Amino acid sequence: MGPVRTEVMWNAVLDAVAATSHDRPLDVLDLGGGTGGDAVRLALLGHRVTVVDPSPDALASLDRRASEAGTAVTGILGDTEDLVEHVDAGSFDLVVCHGVLEHVDDPGQALASTAKVLRDGGHVSIVVAGRLAGVVARALAGDFAGAETLFSARADTWDLRTDGPRRFVVAEIDALLAAHGFTPVQTNALRVFADLVPSALVDIEPGARDALFALERLVRTSPDMAALSAGLQSVARLDLTTAPSDRGVPRATV
Ligand SMILES: C[S@@+](CC[C@H](N)C(=O)[O-])C[C@H]1O[C@@H](n2cnc3c(N)ncnc32)[C@H](O)[C@@H]1O
Query: Using a 6 Å cutoff on CB, does residue 238 contact ligand 1?
Result: no
User: Cα dihedral sign for 194, 196, 198, 202?
Assistant: negative
How far is the centre of ligand 1, averaged over its atoms, from the C-alpha of 55 (Å)? 8
Q: How many helices (H) and strands (E) does the chain have?
A: 12, 7
CA dihedral of 204, 207, 208, 214, whole degrees rounded to 10: 160
In terms of Cβ atoms closer than 10 Å to its own Cβ (0-12, 13-18, 19+), residue 108 is: middle
Domains present along the chain, CATH in parentheses: 2-129+166-238 (3.40.50.150)
Contact criterion met (CB below 8 Å) for 181 and 115: yes
> Considering only 51-65, 185-199, 237-251, which range has the smallest mean pLDDT?
237-251
Cβ count within 10 A of residue 41:
17
Q: What is the chain's mean pLDDT, rounded?
A: 91
Q: Tell me what pLDDT residue 248 has.
A: 42
CA–CA dist 95, 87 (Å, integer)? 12
Predicted confidence band of residue 246 (pLDDT cuts 50, 70, 90): low
Would you say the CB of residue 231 lies under 6 angstroms from ligand 1?
A: no
Least confident of 69-83, 216-230, 238-252: 238-252
Sign of CA dihedral 48, 233, 111, 109: negative
Whether 205 shows a pLDDT value over 90: the answer reads: no
Which ligand 1 atom sits closest to the C-alpha of 104? 19
Q: Which regions of 12-140 does DSSP assign to beta strands (E)?
A: 27-31, 48-53, 74-77, 92-98, 118-129
Q: Range with the lowest mean pLDDT among 66-70, 146-150, 198-202?
A: 198-202
pLDDT bin (cut points 50, 70, 90) of residue 194 is confident
Distances (CA, A) of 13 to 9, 53, 172: 6, 19, 21
**Residue range 3-25: average pLDDT?**
79
Share of the chain above pLDDT 90, in %: 76
Count of beta carbons in the 10 Å neighbourhood of residue 18: 10
Instruction: Please state, in angstroms and rounded to a whole number, the distance separating the CA atoms of residues 79 and 129.
Output: 20
Question: Which mutation among 86, 100, 105 tests ligand 1's pocket best, with the greatest number of atoms within 8 A of CB?
Answer: 100
Q: Is the CB of 202 under 6 A from ligand 1?
A: no
Question: pLDDT tier at 245 (50, 70, 90 boundaries)?
Answer: low
* Interval 101-121 mean pLDDT: 97
Q: What is the mean pLDDT of residues 184-210?
A: 89
| pLDDT band at 254; cut points 50, 70, 90 | very low
Q: What is d(CA 45, CA 25) in angstroms, rounded to the nearest whole number?
A: 8
Cα(250) to ligand 1 centroid in Å equals 32
pLDDT at position 251, please?
Answer: 41
Instruction: Choose between 11 and 210: higher pLDDT.
Output: 210
Nearest CA to ligand 1 atom 6: 33
Q: Are 93 and 28 in contact (CB under 8 A)?
A: yes
| Candidate from 85, 103, 114 with most ligand 1 atoms within 8 A of CB, to mutate | 103
CB 131 near ligand 1, within 6 Å: no
Split at pLDDT 50, 70, 90, the class of 6 is confident
Are 99 and 108 spatial neighbours (Cβ–Cβ below 8 Å)? no
pLDDT digits (tens, 9 = 90+) for 132-182: 999 999 999 999 999 999 999 999 999 999 999 999 999 999 999 999 999
